[in-house]
Amino acid sequence: MTEHSWGHRLRTAVRNRGRLCVGIDPHPPLLDAWGLPRTADGVARFSDICVEAFGGEVAVVKPQVAFFEAYGSAGFAVLERTVAALREAGTLVVSDAKRGDIGSTMSAYAQAWLGDGSPLVSDAVTVSPYLGFGALDPAVTLAGETGRGLFVLARTSNPEGGGLQQSLTAGGPSVAQSIVDAAVAQNRDGNDTIGLVVGATRGHGLDLSEFTGPILAPGLGAQGATVRDLADIFEGSRELLLPNTSRDVLKAGPTVSALRAAALRVRDEVETGLA
């Protein structure tokens, strides 16, 4: 594993600041609760508070791209500033964009989120493999070259995903397991460029015994998953397990001190529960 690889950088961040990944999800009801307008300016103020509260305090922050995209170019400008400010503070950023396409289009998505010099460049990005895992090759290649990472949707936290993700492929394993197996193969270089998204709200039914990369586990808190659930569901896969919480922390806003305290409380609960 090289010093500049995604796996090395993530392990360093987790060692220094714990496993928790906090979301920045400025959805309209939260803007209302914080007394902010449902505008790009409201999203900007929301994001500035989150950056001040989380930057340099937690290992990973995950902005949900859709809530910025909803405001068009002004929203994307806020997202660019938010990502840059978090990274400058030393916090790793996983942009939750769930991009997935083929050929030159996938290459363009990869450049947008992983390319040096891009205004949206993040430390990692979520991607969808449901046009075929091989269609992600441009992003896999660029992530490896730039020392950044991918989180590939495998077994998501929403109940609607089960019918597709648990269905069997022609070769026998489930669709979700085939994604895990492909990620294992890609990570054999030791850099753990490929991570997985595996929901924490139910048993995933996956064999993760050969997977050494990071696992982004949404569902902690408002979606119902507890720290005890994490310990049970991900037994044997805890080193780079990144439990993700958004609303459970964000409801503590809008003051920076309360927001930071909520994030650190959950972080410490996670570290104790997964020790």
Q: How many residues does the chain have?
A: 275
Residues catalogued as catalytic:
98
How do 215-218 and 21-24 pair as beta strands?
unpaired
| Cα angle for residues 187, 191, 195 (degrees, 5° grid) | 55
**Per-residue model confidence (pLDDT) at position 135:** 97
Helix axes 137-146, 103-114, angle to 10 degrees: 30
| Cα angle for residues 130, 184, 120 (degrees, 5° grid) | 60
Residues 6+ apart with CB under 8 A from 123: 6, 9, 87, 92, 93, 94, 148, 149
Copy the structure tokens of residue 239.
């080193």
Alpha-carbon gap, residue 147 to 168, rounded angstroms: 33
Residue 7 pLDDT level (bands cut at 50, 70, 90): very high
pLDDT tens digits for range 218-252: 987 666 678 887 888 888 777 889 999 999 999 99
Q: pLDDT above 70 covers what percent of the chain? A: 97
90 three-state secondary structure? coil
Which residue carries 């990620």 as its tokens?
183
Question: Is it the case that residue 215 has pLDDT exceeding 80?
Answer: yes
Residue type present at position 253:
G
Copy the structure tokens of residue 91.
């916090």
Alpha-carbon gap, residue 47 to 40, rounded angstroms: 10
Residue 165 pLDDT level (bands cut at 50, 70, 90): confident
253, 225 in Cβ contact below 8 A? no
Cis peptide before 254, with omega less than 30 degrees from 0?
Answer: yes
**Per-residue model confidence (pLDDT) at position 223:** 67
Which residue would you say has higher pLDDT here, 167 or 260? 260
Alpha-carbon gap, residue 272 to 270, rounded angstroms: 5
Domain 6-269 falls in which CATH fold? TIM Barrel (3.20.20)
